[in-house]
DNA sequence: GTTGGTGCAAAATGTTTGCACTAAT
DNA sequence: ATTAGTGCAAACATTTTGCACCAAC
């Protein structure tokens, strides 16, 4: 594996602790989890795990660029992909996925109000995921 | 004025109270304020105004489509424009403005993962606003 | 006069911080 | 041995809710 949890932690100059490895494993296993989703998954194996540690770890990794915090509607989500890319969110179950990279993002030519210097664009698509359109599935979100 | 506060409230089937009128006036006066910005502005004239009333009013207006709640990074913001449009946020002072409408949003042709039904796109540009690039200005945000 | 709205306080979230203890280096 | 990281609890910030009183219709 090119970038395993340990490599990521080393690359970020962070100490390798079992908790942090578990956090990174959770990020590999879920798609764009919230901090709480990471916590619940990690706590299943490390019952004494603290939620604050999850937040601290994610913040540390994000500060070092090993993880990206994505602000999607209600709640922040975390992503191991750190290259520029966009997201899609299911209105029904809340699932978030990456969008495939798009070669010619025409929005870079979009007119901006005079005087603004644009540094970055973020695109969020919203709709219904395959699982949810297949049948009555999952939880609450709605929008 | 085509759509004053009173008209908006009537259109939403909501009672016309001084507090609600003041909330809508605040929305007209600020650019994409947070609930708290609305509250502080309204409280300057109505000191007994409750923050919960601001939230309730904004939620009621949003439910009736007279206002749109925009989830931008940290904190929800409110917008009197209810037609589809996009936003730009200043990384330095946190100011949010509307982007001019774009006729041919090429991103609608963006490839989406198989099985997803996309209903809506949200675009957020981030950069530095005219005031902030003109000089050392304003508050904290950063990103 | 009804019914919805207001104000206040409290609850529910989600995230951050302080601190004593522990473990990675 | 150092120093960063952990776990817990408490602090914070933001948004929602319950309820008694009041005002728009």
User: Taking the model in full, what pTM does it have?
Assistant: 0.79
What is the model's pLDDT at position A2?
61
Strand C bases near protein CB (under 7 Å) are: 4-10, 14-18, 23-25
pLDDT tens digit string along A2-47?
678 899 899 889 999 999 999 999 998 888 899 999 999 999 988 8
Handedness of CA A124, B111, A93, A31 (dihedral sign): negative
Q: Which of B78, B51, B77, B62 is nearest to B12 (CA)?
A: B62
Give the nucleotide nearest to A6 (CA→C1').
C24
What is the model's pLDDT at position B123?
84
Using DSSP's 3-state secondary structure scheme, residue B78 falls into: strand
Beta bridge partners of B87: B98, B124
Q: Is pLDDT at B108 greater than 80 in this prediction?
A: no
Chain B residue nearest residue A125, CA to CA: B121
Candidates B91, B104, B117; nearest CB to A133: B117
Contact between B49 and B43 (Cβ < 8 Å) = yes
What is the model's pLDDT at position B36?
92
What is the model's pLDDT at position B65?
85
Using DSSP's 3-state secondary structure scheme, residue A118 falls into: strand
pLDDT tens digit string along B21-44?
999 999 989 888 999 999 999 999
What is the model's pLDDT at position A85?
82
């Amino acid at each position: 594996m090119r970038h395993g949890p340990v490599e990521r932690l080393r690359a970020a100059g962070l100490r390798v602790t079992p908790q942090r490895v578990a956090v990174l494993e959770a990020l590999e296993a879920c798609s764009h989890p919230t901090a709480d989703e990471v916590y619940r998954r990690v706590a299943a194996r490390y019952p004494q795990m603290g939620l604050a540690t999850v937040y601290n770890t994610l913040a540390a990794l994000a500060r070092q660029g090993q993880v990206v915090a994505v602000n999607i509607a209600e709640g922040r989500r975390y992503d191991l992909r750190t290259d520029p890319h966009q997201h899609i969110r299911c209105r029904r179950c809340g699932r978030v996925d990456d969008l495939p990279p798009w070669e010619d993002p025409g929005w870079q030519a979009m007119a901006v109000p005079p005087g603004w210097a644009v540094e970055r664009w973020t695109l969020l698509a919203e709709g219904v995921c395959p699982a949810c359109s297949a049948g009555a599935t999952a939880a609450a979100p709605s929008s």
